[in-house]
């Protein structure tokens, strides 16, 4: 184990980290633009928390993994610990940074932008920060989008508002044109706030920069309300999303018990991952059926959802159903695949489908039921971050600045095993993160809802 390493041992995470198998091929080495030779201005401020590249955080933390490591004497897989370095690569008085936000909205984006600007200004004395408008299209001259000068005054109160002060967009843009724009603007550091699609573009941008032998750092901050980015314990905005989803579920429960055979149906975001639905179900424990993309279900048949819902109503007189937007897609889209401008599969509206299906089923069997449907999706993603997410966003932004000033590139800042770490972007985009149906987390959902497998097999 490297000298001064700081491994962390944790129990099963409430934030859905899948066990990384012993044969997983994960690259953990971080690219650097060159040897850091500039003394950090933080030294003059007697900053007490410097770290080095030899400080590491274990990737695998299970007891069995540790036993195997120590028995074989092998080098454990570990991430580079995030934090300020005593020697940095960029001269703070000459560096110019740019920030771009891409993809869908998420609580906390403005908090990350503000944290980056404040850390650059107060920590390093780097005052030139550009905001790129409307995602990656802001780099492309044909769109004619103006830049935003991210001064201290410009970011003074943006954390009080939802969305992003820079606005966002989806869709591919030519990588060579993006790098051309970075060169024209004399940008040394590019901060990218986005999800896996944005990160794939980030890898290509970093590759093009390397191909041209330019000294431009690309540092990413993981953003997706679905919490499905690989090698991140949770993404910012997720706690806020769960809190807001819980409020909608509580309202659905009130509606359900307010009518004979009332059904409260809530659809939440989650195209490929049921993180929000599952966490909100666990948080509130008033849900009777939690439907997620990872766990397929049958509608009809003796063990299907409709029969289970009927039994619940006959037994208790009300029910609450929470569904992720990506669940049950085989009932809506079939073999048809629709994609958004970024190439992501666009799910059909499972909420409306279930609402209509429930009503039709109970009409057919001659049973009176009142279905109340709530879709808070755009409300959830557009609100300001809560206190926990604000603290998280501040740490992500600050650590992104420390990494960038040290010349780190083609990487993202991640929270892993309760430590902030550096993860290569190439590793982060290898796959998406999903709920492990064999985990304690999903077992907790089943124990809370009491639902069966909802399958006829």
Tokens representing 360 are 């039709």
Backbone φ, ψ for residue 263 (5° rounding): -120, 120
Extract the tokens encoding 156: 């003074």
Give 432: exposed, middle or buried? Use CB within 10 Å, 0-12, 13-18, 19+. middle
Annotated catalytic, 226?
yes
For 218, what's the count of Cα atoms within 13 Å in the CB-facing half-sphere? 24
Question: Which residue reads 């409300």 in tokens?
Answer: 379
Strands (E), 368-417: 370-374, 408-409, 411-416
Distance of CA 267 to the CA centre of its chain: 19
Phi first, then psi, for residue 269 (nearest 5°) are: -70, 155
Q: How far apart are CA 434 and CA 274, in angstroms?
A: 8
Q: Which of 55, 111, 196, 226 is catalytic?
A: 226
C-alpha–C-alpha distance, residues 438 and 445, integer Å? 11
Tokens in use for 10? 């944790």
Task: Put residue 340 in one of left, alpha, beta given phi > 0 → left and psi -120 to 50 → alpha.
Answer: beta
Q: Which residue has the tokens 């074989």?
A: 72
Q: Report the DSSP beta bridge partners of residue 421.
A: 81, 414
Count CA atoms within 13 Å of residue 215 on its CB side: 12
Q: Which residues are catalytic?
A: 226
């Amino acid at each position: 184990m490297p000298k001064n390493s700081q491994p962390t041992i944790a129990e099963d995470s409430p934030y859905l980290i899948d066990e990384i198998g012993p044969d997983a091929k994960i690259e953990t080495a971080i690219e650097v633009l060159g040897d850091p030779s500039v003394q950090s201005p933080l030294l003059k401020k007697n900053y007490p928390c410097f770290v080095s590249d030899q400080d590491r955080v274990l990737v695998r933390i299970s007891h069995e993994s540790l036993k195997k490591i120590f028995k074989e004497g092998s080098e454990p897989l570990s991430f580079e610990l995030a934090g300020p370095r005593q020697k940095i690569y960029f001269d703070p008085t000459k560096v110019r940074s740019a920030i771009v936000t891409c993809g869908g909205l998420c609580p906390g984006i403005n908090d990350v932008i503000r944290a980056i600007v404040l850390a650059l200004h107060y920590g390093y004395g780097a005052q030139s920060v550009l905001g790129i408008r409307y995602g990656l299209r802001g780099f492309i001259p044909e769109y004619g989008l103006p830049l935003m000068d991210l001064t201290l005054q410009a970011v003074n109160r943006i954390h009080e508002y939802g969305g992003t002060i820079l606005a966002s967009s989806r869709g591919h843009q030519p990588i060579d044109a993006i790098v051309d724009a970075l060169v024209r603007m004399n940008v040394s550091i590019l901060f990218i706030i986005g999800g896996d699609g944005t990160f794939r573009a980030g890898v290509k941008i970093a590759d093009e920069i390397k191909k041209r032998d330019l000294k431009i750092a690309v540092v990413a901050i993981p953003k997706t309300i679905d919490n499905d980015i690989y090698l991140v314990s949770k993404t910012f905005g997720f706690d806020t999303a769960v809190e807001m989803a819980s409020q909608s579920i509580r309202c659905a429960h009130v509606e359900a018990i307010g009518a004979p055979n009332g059904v409260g149906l809530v659809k939440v975001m989650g195209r490929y991952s049921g993180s929000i639905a599952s966490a909100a179900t666990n948080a509130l424990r008033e849900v009777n059926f939690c439907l997620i993309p990872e766990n397929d279900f049958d509608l009809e048949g003796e063990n299907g959802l409709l029969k289970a819902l009927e039994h619940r109503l006959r037994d208790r007189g009300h029910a609450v159903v929470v569904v992720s937007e990506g669940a049950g897609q085989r009932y809506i889209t079939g073999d048809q695949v629709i994609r958004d401008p970024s190439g992501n599969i666009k799910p059909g509206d499972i909420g409306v489908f279930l609402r209509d299906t429930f009503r039709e089923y109970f009409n057919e069997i001659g049973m009176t039921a009142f279905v109340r449907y709530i879709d808070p999706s755009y409300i959830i993603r557009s609100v300001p971050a809560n206190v926990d997410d604000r603290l998280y966003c501040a740490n992500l932004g600050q650590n992104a600045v420390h990494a960038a000033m040290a010349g780190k590139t083609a990487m993202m800042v991640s929270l892993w095993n309760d430590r902030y770490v550096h993860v290569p972007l190439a590793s982060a985009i290898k796959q998406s993160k999903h709920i492990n149906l064999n985990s304690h987390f999903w077992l907790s959902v089943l124990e809370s809802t009491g639902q069966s497998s909802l399958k006829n097999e």
